[in-house]
Structure 1
Amino acid sequence: MSDFPVVVTGEGVSRQVLSDHPDLMVVAFRFGATGAIGALHDHPHVQSTYVESGRFRFTLGNDEREVGPGDSFVVSSGVTHGCTCLEPGTLVDCFTPRRDDFL
């Protein structure tokens, strides 16, 4: 169990830091409802996303893809990305370096 708090980031969406180090951070994003949105954004961190459960439609730059349990992908630094929840579930994201704004 993580010692970090659960933070509500939007309607039906929360995040919780699972572990962190200056070079790497692991974060769970939980989507509790179909239609919940992970807003489009970008950041200087390289991000990997693993779909623990649920289904999501991701926008990655100019591309869209649908992902489900067991899928994973990498988002390069500076690429605009976001998602729409198609079935409630959890995404596990890793960031390098860590997202100090999440602490």
Structure 2
Amino acid sequence: MPRSFVRIYPSVDAGNGVTRRVLAESPELMVVEFRFAKDGAGALHNHPHVQATYVKSGVFEFTIGDEVVLVRGGDSFVIPSSVAHGCRALEEGVLIDTFTPRRDDFL
């Protein structure tokens, strides 16, 4: 029987006004959608994965290392491995994050 490359993951409550849904994954790469309510927050944290973030919609205040930046729909950026980061949604919005390697803690 052939292996299916399509898998549908459920949305999960990530807390603080945020839901998370894995969109696609392999051991080397993971794509995740985060939906934020207004004032939803991603707590300051770090991880060994390299993270690329695309702001699909909304306006967010991001802390990345010692820098605080305002990002909005259409913006994108990379967060290096082990750099502390977090964000707050200034309005309802969606982030699409990619991680390398995969975040096994999200499965």
User: Structure 2, unaligned stretches of length 5 or more?
Assistant: 1-5
**Using the alignment, how far apart are the partners of 1:61 and 1:86 within structure 2?**
20
**Using the alignment, how far apart are the partners of 2:16 and 2:43 within structure 1?**
11
Determine whether 1:13 maps to 2:18.
yes
- In our comparison, the structure showing a higher alpha carbon Rg is 2
Q: For 1:43, what is the secondary structure of its paired residue? A: coil
Q: Structure 1 segments of 4 or more deviating over 3 A?
A: none
Q: Please tell me the residue identity of whatever aligns with 2:8.
A: D
Alignment TM-score, normalising by the size of structure 1: 0.95
State the match for 1:88 in structure 2: 92
**Deviation (angstroms), 1:5:** 1.2
**Using the alignment, how far apart are the partners of 2:7 and 2:76 within structure 1?**
22
Structure with more of its chain in strand, by fraction: 1
User: Structure 1, unaligned stretches of length 5 or more?
Assistant: none
Cα root mean square deviation, aligned: 1.2
- Identity among equivalent positions (%) equals 58
Q: Please tell me the residue identity of whatever aligns with 1:69.
A: G
Deviations 1:40-93 (A, max 9, x none): 100000000000000000000000000001000000000000000001010000
> 1:53-64 maps to which residues of 2 (within 5 A)?
53-64=57-68
**Deviation (angstroms), 1:11:** 2.9
